[in-house]
Structure 1
Amino acid sequence: MLHDVDFHALGRQACLRLLRRVPVGRIVYTRQALPAVLPVNFRLDADSSVVLRTTAGSELVRAVDGAVVAFEADEFDAAARSGWSVVVTGRAALVTDPAERACLARCGPISWMPPRDGVFVRIAPDLVTGRRLAGM
């Protein structure tokens, strides 16, 4: 049985507002020449870049530093058949500036698994796309 739905694309600012509502998303990157997806805690920074925290020696850091990646977050209500999805695409880079790292350590994303040797990864919001689906 098909149900009527209202589906539409979201503008950049609407996408960024939605991203600020959720604490977890997924980073999409290349691992051994294959696509990989990893759920992560994140935060949007003042410049709308996605910031996440991980361990310095992690496979993720080695794979994403300097690479173009995608980041996706969403929220869905299965009963209402509604929700949204936002994708940020851009170059990922380790945060190396000591002052910026100190600031992020105080107010950056809070990891559910706090790393002892934590580093921050910033994803530039070069392309921000999203869509909303509302059941009717």
Structure 2
Amino acid sequence: MVMGFGGITELTNDQCWALLRSNDLGRIAVSAAGLVDIFPINYAVDEGARTVYFRTAPGTKLLELAINDRIALEIDGHDEHEAWSVVVKGSAERVERQSEMDAAERLGLEPWIPTLKYRWVRIRPLEIAGRRFALGPEPSRV
């Protein structure tokens, strides 16, 4: 860990993965035709492969990922003493093989809202980074 300016600590890859595993809600950013869209998702982590999965229905996310497979996933959290953020950048691909869908199903990911989300998407990370922030009052300006 590297302590930075103002109580900012860079997280190791293992710390980032631990935070990803301990949570299940994040936001993905996808881009197509020069526009960026951000969507909330719930997700699951395949620890062995160090990949992230989410489920979705046909629509904007799948269309944009078909045009441009680059994706970013961001998760964050806080308590009364610190906050943290993890960003995963990588490529997204639809899971098409039945054996891979069956393996993804075993991760236990269920939609949070009562909709049919039977399309699986796998995020293959190319880069992962995280930071932890010590919370406190703003320093005096004088």
TM-score range, shorter chain: 0.7 to 0.9
Aligned with residue 49 of structure 2, among 47, 50, 72 = 47
SS in 2 for 1:14: helix
How far apart in 2 are the matches of 1:83 and 1:14? 14
Distance 1:105 1:54 in 2: 13
Q: TM-score, normalised by structure 2?
A: 0.82
Q: Which has the larger radius of gyration?
A: 2
CA apart distance, 1:71: 0.4
Q: CA deviation at 1:32?
A: 4.3
Task: Compute the displacement of 1:108 (Å).
Answer: 4.0
Secondary structure (helix, strand or coil) at the match of 1:22 reads: coil
RMSD (Å), alpha carbons: 1.9
Task: After TM superposition, give the deviation of residue 103 of structure 1 in Å.
Answer: 2.4
Cα distance between partner residues in 2 of 1:23 and 1:40: 8
Structure 1 SS opposite 2:41: strand
Structure 1 length normalisation: TM-score? 0.85
In 1, the alpha carbon distance for the partners of 2:43 and 2:125 equals: 14
- Separation (CA, whole Å) in 2 of partners of 1:119 and 1:26: 17
Aligned-pair CA distance for 1:39: 0.5
Flag as ranges the 4+ runs of structure 1 deviating above 3 A. none
Shift of the alpha carbon at 1:125?
Answer: 1.3
Residues 31 and 70, structure 2, Cα contact 8 Å, conserved in 1: no
Percent of aligned pairs with the same amino acid = 31
User: Which one-letter code corresponds to 2:72 in the other structure?
Assistant: A
Highest RCO, 1 vs 2 (Cα 8 Å, sep ≥ 6) = 1
Runs of 5+ unmatched residues, structure 1: none
Show structure 2 runs of 5+ residues with no match. 137-142
Could you tell me how far apart the structure 2 residues matched to 1:10 and 1:43 are? 20
Q: How many residues align?
A: 130
